[in-house]
């Protein structure tokens, strides 16, 4: 990756081993002048997804134990933060989990999935029976639900939509 940021999937980081992570960070920072920050993640994090890396930073990183700072490192002379110096500081962020800490709170949230039938339209899905919003999204293959919201609002406006006692959407007859 060109630029001051380097992400690496330290696969497999067994046990979130600090020595392995430190070796990875040191290797990258020492060999690439253009890498200013290195983020080391477990294999369950997609290194090309800013959202997943940000999530790992927010939920797996503690600065007092997971930050590696190296000074006197070779850098690119175009970095204005150097003030003309030939060397500078670089940082490594250990976003891996310690051994045995693969509990529910540390898993990456996944979107809801429906193993049920798929439908060509929202109205066809609702004709099949009441459904929660996530079930409607899966039933029609919606990525983010925006078109579902628009269609539900149109049905509600025409008086053809209601909700049952559990909060599922249904066609009003």
CA dihedral 148, 154, 158, 159 (to 10 degrees): 40
State whether 12 and 70 are in the same domain.
Answer: yes
Q: Do 87 and 132 sit in the same domain of this protein?
A: no
3-state SS assignment for residue 60: helix
What integer is the mean pLDDT of 26-54?
Answer: 81
Name the more confident of 83 and 99.
Answer: 83
Q: Per residue in 49-82, pLDDT tens? A: 888 889 889 988 999 988 888 888 888 888 888 8
Q: Does 16 reside within a domain?
A: yes
Domain that holds residue 47: 5-98
Give the residue-averaged pLDDT of 92-111: 68
What is the torsional sign of CA 42, 45, 48, 50? negative
Whole-prediction pTM: 0.51
Q: Report yes or no on 113 lying in a domain.
A: no
Q: pLDDT (tens digit, 9 = 90+) per residue, 127-169?
A: 999 998 888 998 998 888 899 999 999 999 999 999 988 889 9
Average pLDDT score over residue span 100-108: 58
Categorize the per-residue pLDDT at 1 as very low, low, confident or very high, splitting at 50, 70 and 90. Answer: very low
Contacts of 72 (CB under 8 A, 6+ apart): 87
């Amino acid at each position: 990756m060109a630029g001051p940021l380097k992400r690496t999937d330290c696969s497999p980081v067994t046990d979130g081993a600090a020595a392995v992570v430190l070796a990875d960070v040191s290797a990258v920072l020492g060999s690439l002048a253009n890498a200013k920050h290195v983020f080391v993640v477990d294999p369950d994090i997609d290194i090309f997804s800013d959202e997943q890396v940000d999530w790992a930073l927010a939920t797996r990183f503690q600065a007092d134990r997971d930050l590696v700072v190296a000074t006197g490192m070779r850098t690119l002379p175009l970095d204005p933060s150097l003030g003309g110096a030939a060397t500078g500081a670089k940082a490594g962020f250990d976003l891996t989990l310690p051994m045995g800490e693969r509990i529910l709170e540390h898993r990456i949230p996944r979107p809801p999935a429906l193993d049920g039938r798929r439908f060509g339209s929202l109205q066809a899905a609702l004709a099949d029976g009441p459904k929660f919003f996530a079930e409607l999204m899966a039933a029609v293959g919606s990525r983010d639900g925006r078109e579902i919201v628009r269609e539900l609002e149109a049905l509600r406006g025409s008086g053809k939509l209601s909700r049952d006692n559990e909060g599922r959407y249904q066609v009003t007859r």
